[in-house]
Amino acid sequence: MQEAAGADLEEEGGGRGGGEGGADEAMACKEEGGKGKPILSLPDDAKKLLSCMLSMTVKCCARCMLGMVKVRDPLIYALSQEEIASSIADSLDEEGRDRCMAETSALACRKGDCCVCMGLLQSDQGEISSQVKEALTTAGYDVDSPCTFMLSLSAPSSIFIRQYLYYYKALEGSGGALGVSCEQKWIELKEVYRLTYGRRIQQVLSWTIDQSSTDSCAGRVKVTMEYRHEESAGMKEVLLEGKSVKRTMRERRERGQRKGNLVEIENIIAVHNVLHGMTPAALLSKFSWPPAAISKEPELTVKVERESVYIGGCYCKYSRKVSQSPWNEAHGELQDSVQTLILKEIAPLYQPEETKFMGSGREDVDGRPVDFNFEKIQELVSNLRPVGRDYVDSIKSSGETKRKTYRALVWTSAPLPPSKLDVLNQMQELAVFQNTPIRVLHRRSLAERKRTVYRMSAERVNDRFFLLDLETEAGTYIKEFVHGDLGRTRPSVGGLLCCEADILQLDVVGVEL
Ligand SMILES: [Zn+2]
């Protein structure tokens, strides 16, 4: 744990922020340190950089310095500014130690005086945690029940410019002893921020921080710490030479709104790109050093929102009167649908702002003629479970790529001898060409689609009726495959049997997922 400083291997897996480091690790640190506080162990280059930073007259806070020398131990960040300063002093030689502890030291930095973060990393951890708790409580979250959250930071772009300026100035002071290279760059501000405050926020909320990619853990609460600082906004204008880098994005839509409002946001990526592409000399020539003192610290707003929750499962539809979605072209608005019945059960549990229902392909309203039964829906809801984003993607694609099985009751215009059905039973992997059916022509573009009927099995009911089981490629128009759609689907069941055929009932029996 003490080796964290400067060692890239120590970067926490899955991008976790301040959540690491339990009580056992703290003990280990204390025992090894023997002084009851974590020890800072720095590689030589980091020590040199620290010395350069400490010899500058401009004030810089202890956490900004830790980030600059790539310390990733959350236990160190959890200490107060004074304690961190003393840890830094302990890690240096005698001369460095004296410089560190002097009253005029760069580290003797009052809140808001840090030339890099302007106070962002100097707040009291308890205070920041309380602000987060208050924002969550106001938004109606139960902070006492276990939950996972993601902590993100939106910082004024002037801080990023200040990081570069400060770092280049420190290197200048090394007289060339420390070269500029990509490997030498500091830890990103958002990570330093999480290392500083994440741990305490977790304790105050009894929530768990989780910074992993959004795909795997839907349903987290996203807490965004948004800092604004108009006073230093001019630095960005100087950097970008007045070029506009605003971009617009749509806010989350409010209840009753069709679309969210368009808002202008800072394009921070453009700022990073310019900073990254600039030589130290070019950047330093653009700005005066040290930056002008500020009269007011950046202002914090805590924003909270919950990421989408995905719930998946399979359903069996037992009624021909219940469609998949509440609106159906043939029947208009329906009172009951799979969508409304399921959402009615789920909505009280999650109280969502909006819901979306996604089925694997679409099916017609007519299903099995078994009476609809509310207990069935309850049984079905109990089978539902939270799923990841990848499940949703597989549902989307399965509508086009997977196999479906159907059972149809078919009528024929001519009486069929039992042996005639063998024509169908012997078919395998039948390629079917379907022009857009007449019944959907008004909403689908005219095109010919090739689909495969993998398997058919016909069972005679009497001279004019038979049951047909089909396994087809998703997207096959079954009704048209049976009656031929006036020659628009070739071949068809009617065509194969040399008579007219029509479909009387159709059930979806299964969908491959
Ligand atoms: Zn700072």
Question: What is the 3-class SS of 261-307, one letter each residue?
Answer: CEEEEECHHHHHHHHHHCCHHHHHHHCCCCCCCCCCCCEEEEEEEEC
Mean pLDDT of all residues in 171-193? 77
Instruction: Find where tokens 């002084």 sit.
Output: 35
Nearest to 433 by CA among 481, 400, 501, 496: 481
3-class secondary-structure state, position 253:
coil
Q: How far apart are CA 170 and CA 176, in angstroms?
A: 10
Mean pLDDT of all residues in 254-276? 76
Mean pLDDT of all residues in 224-235? 93
Mean pLDDT of all residues in 129-154? 93
Residue 14's region, left for phi above 0, alpha for psi from -120 to 50, else beta, is left
Instruction: Tell which wins on pLDDT, 140 or 377.
Output: 140
* Ligand 1 centre distance from Cα of residue 16 (Å): 22
* Ligand 1 centre distance from Cα of residue 511 (Å): 57
* Ligand 1 centre distance from Cα of residue 63 (Å): 6
Locate the domains of the chain by residue range. Answer: 2-306, 309-399, 402-513
pLDDT in tens, 151-161: 999 999 999 99
pLDDT in tens, 369-408: 323 333 444 445 556 777 777 777 777 666 666 788 889 9
Nearest to 469 by CA among 422, 509, 415, 419: 509
Model confidence at 256: pLDDT above 70: no
* Ligand 1 centre distance from Cα of residue 274 (Å): 22
Instruction: Tell which wins on pLDDT, 370 or 61.
Output: 61
Model confidence at 348: pLDDT above 70: yes
Report how far apart, in Å, the C-alpha atoms of 282 and of each of 165, 432, 481 are.
11, 67, 70
- 148-154/208-209 β-pairing: parallel
Residue 465, pLDDT score: 94
Instruction: Find where tokens 């929102």 sit.
Output: 305
Tell how many helices (H) and how many strands (E) occur in the chain.
18, 16
Angle at 343 between CA 341 and CA 347, to 5 degrees: 135
* Ligand 1 centre distance from Cα of residue 161 (Å): 13
Q: How far apart are CA 23 and CA 26, in angstroms?
A: 5
* Ligand 1 centre distance from Cα of residue 151 (Å): 19
* Ligand 1 centre distance from Cα of residue 19 (Å): 21
pLDDT in tens, 294-337: 999 999 999 998 887 788 777 776 676 677 776 655 555 666 77
Do you know the residue count of the chain? 513
* Ligand 1 centre distance from Cα of residue 107 (Å): 10
User: What is the band of 218 on the pLDDT scale with cuts at 50, 70, 90?
Assistant: low
* Ligand 1 centre distance from Cα of residue 392 (Å): 42
For the domain 402-513, what is the CATH code? 3.30.70.3190
* Ligand 1 centre distance from Cα of residue 458 (Å): 77
Q: How far apart are CA 80 and CA 77, in angstroms?
A: 8
Estimate the crossing angle of helix 189-205 against helix 125-138, to 10 degrees.
70
Fold of 309-399: Alpha-Beta Plaits (3.30.70)
Q: How far apart are CA 123 and CA 117, in angstroms?
A: 11
Give this complex's ipTM.
0.99
- Would you say the CATH fold of 402-513 matches that of 309-399? yes
* Ligand 1 centre distance from Cα of residue 355 (Å): 42
Tokens describing residue 304: 């909270």
Q: How far apart are CA 184 and CA 179, in angstroms?
A: 8
Residue 293 backbone dihedrals phi, psi, to 5 degrees:
-65, 150
Mean pLDDT of all residues in 436-440? 87
